[in-house]
Chain A
């Protein structure tokens, strides 16, 4: 069972367009991370959100954590070819001590292609 569903699975757009990627679950997470991965390389951490309803901005990227801490979205404004890559969301579940459990649960990713 995939605990984190990402959509869309593939996205091909023109430079300058806006896009939103979604990450949904029926489970509650203590925190959620977004990573970007290039082919043959390791995922690179973009942002961590921990509070329900939290919004974080990283230049043209806006990340939102759902109020119920079950979902998240990534919005990119005026996409550029350099934004091309695999975007992964990853959730940390609550541990018995009340903090985060160590391992992350990953979605399968959204493969974004931005054409010049």
Chain B
């Protein structure tokens, strides 16, 4: 158990719909990362939040957005869903903002499997 929790475990929805995925980081971790894992692309970085502030964006679509709340939990919002959005979505957390440190150890949650029909 990594200490990172994600809900829901599974989500089945239809094209055009909107869903929210939730992540609670390990106790004390300030950084939250969202990744998408599909069969053909592997794990792709979406977005990074540190202590409530957006720090970096990866290949995140404009239809997707995220935020980190004062209690440090994070939500990933996916809207106007398409068939191609079906994937595993992982949240990871770490203690550091990484400035001035070489270590970048991230701990992953169990993921949310999104199926868009």
Given A42-B90, A42-B108; A102-B100 close (CB under 8 Å): no
The 8 A CB mask of B77-113 against A (1 = contact, 0 = none) is 0000000000000101000011111111111111101
A residues with a Cβ closer than 8 A to B are: 30-31, 33, 35, 40-45, 48, 50, 88, 90, 92, 95, 97-109
Chain B residue at minimal CB-CB distance from A35: B108
B residues with a Cβ closer than 8 A to A are: 2, 4, 31, 33, 35, 42-45, 48, 50, 55-56, 58, 90, 92, 97-111, 113
Contact A42 B2 (CB under 8 A): yes
Chain B residue at minimal CB-CB distance from A43: B108
Q: Hey, which chain A residues are within 8 Å of B90, CB to CB?
A: 42-43
Q: Hey, which chain B residues are within 8 Å of A108, CB to CB?
A: 42
Q: A43-B90, A92-B104, A102-B33 are in contact. List 9 more A-B contacts (CB 8 A).
A: A30-B104, A35-B108, A41-B110, A88-B43, A90-B43, A95-B99, A97-B99, A102-B31, A102-B50
Top 9 nearest A-B pairs by Cβ distance?
A: A42-B108, A92-B104, A106-B43, A103-B45, A108-B42, A100-B104, A100-B98, A99-B100, A50-B102
Chain B residue at minimal CB-CB distance from A6: B42
Q: Hey, which chain A residues are within 8 Å of B97, CB to CB?
A: 102
**Would you mind naming 14 contact pairs between A and B with Cβ atoms under 8 Å apart?**
A30-B104, A31-B103, A42-B2, A42-B4, A42-B108, A42-B111, A50-B103, A88-B43, A95-B99, A100-B104, A101-B98, A102-B55, A103-B33, A103-B45
Given A102-B50, A109-B42; A48-B98 close (CB under 8 Å): no
